[in-house]
Structure 1
Amino acid sequence: MITGQTRGRRKPRHHVTGMVNGMGIRGVIEAHDGERGFILGAAWLRGCPVRVGDTIRVEIVPEGPQRGDLAEDVAAALDAEPEAAAFFDALTQFYRRAYLRWIDATKRSPALRADRIAEMIDLLKAGVKERPKG
């Protein structure tokens, strides 16, 4: 069950992946008309019709790297900056992984790693999904 909690902070959105009636899905759990859930789009429904009142099997897991999966230095930096952390948590796995790959590319240079973590935090606080190339 997804509870909406991440290290004591409430996330507005949860990117998930899994299966509904045996068919793969990716979705975002968020507020819809006062309730939390995800919407199955028309394309998905064409392949696996579901009708009101049907009993269905739903299996979902969080998508992409979660806070508990992060290196200690990255997790500590996010914990110290709640605004950046909330934005990071709301990113899709594509953007989260891109930031983490960029940081992990510095394994042989601890000073550069620290600089990149600090830059990531600044970018996240500014609401930048993807670091500028170059």
Structure 2
Amino acid sequence: MQPRRFTATTEDGKRGRVAIPVPFDPDEAWGAKPVHRVAGTVAGCDVRGTVAGGRIVLGPAWGRDRGIGPGQVVDVELAPEGPQRGDLAPDLAAALEAHPAAGAFFDSLAQFHRRAYLRWIDGTKKRPEERARRIAYVVELLGEGVKERP
């Protein structure tokens, strides 16, 4: 997924937070998802967050430590965080496509949880016959809304 670059004027995010308006629809840019978790830079400083309501809101410490407050013009680069559907192995991508609820839940997870599931599935290198069973189990868990494998 291609990063999106733009210039924005920071806004007051309430309670000392800094809000960055996002001038594009992330659903159109990166595909429809329940939650758009992103990573990138604002004024050359690393950020991670969630696009909600057409903006990304950064904590008070982030703005204070970088000297960025409301009313400043900043250059922004954002991209979806962590492994995306297009990055998945074909067998897992097909399984998630076949179970839309599981796929949508996978898309909404933070990268930590997505990567944990992927590591467990990929841990079958010495037992390839186990891979299909693990994929089926992961799809079942995701369909039930389970963030982590028990």
TM-score, normalised via structure 1 length: 0.87
- List structure 1 segments (4+ residues) > 6 angstroms apart after TM superposition: none
Output the aligned Cα RMSD.
Answer: 1.8
TM-superposition CA deviations, 1:90-126 (whole Å, max 9, x none): 0011000000000001123233100000000010011
What aligned pairs does 1:1-134 form with structure 2 within 5 A after superposition? 1=4, 3-5=26-28, 10-31=32-53, 36-132=54-150
Look up the SS of the partner of 1:4 in the other structure: helix
Aligned length: 127
Gaps of 5+ in 2: 5-24
Answer 1 or 2: higher relative contact order, Cα 8 Å, separation at least 6. 2
- Contact preservation (8 Å) 2:122, 2:131: yes
Q: 1: distance between equivalents of 2:79 and 2:149?
A: 27
| Distance change >3 Å, CA 73–CA 108, structure 1 → 2 | same
The DSSP-based 3-state class of the residue aligned with 1:127 is coil
Once the two structures are superposed, residues 45-94 of structure 1 have per-residue CA deviations (whole angstroms, 9 ceiling, x without a partner) of: 11123343321111111111010000000000000000000000000110
Query: 2 CA distance for matches of 1:45 and 1:12?
Result: 27
Q: State the percentage of identical aligned residues.
A: 53
Distance, in Å, in 1 between the alignment partners of 2:82 and 2:139 is: 19
| Structure 1: segments with no counterpart, 5+ residues | none
Q: Which has the higher strand share?
A: 2
What is the CA–CA distance in structure 2 between the aligned matches of 1:53 and 1:37, rounded to whole Å? 15
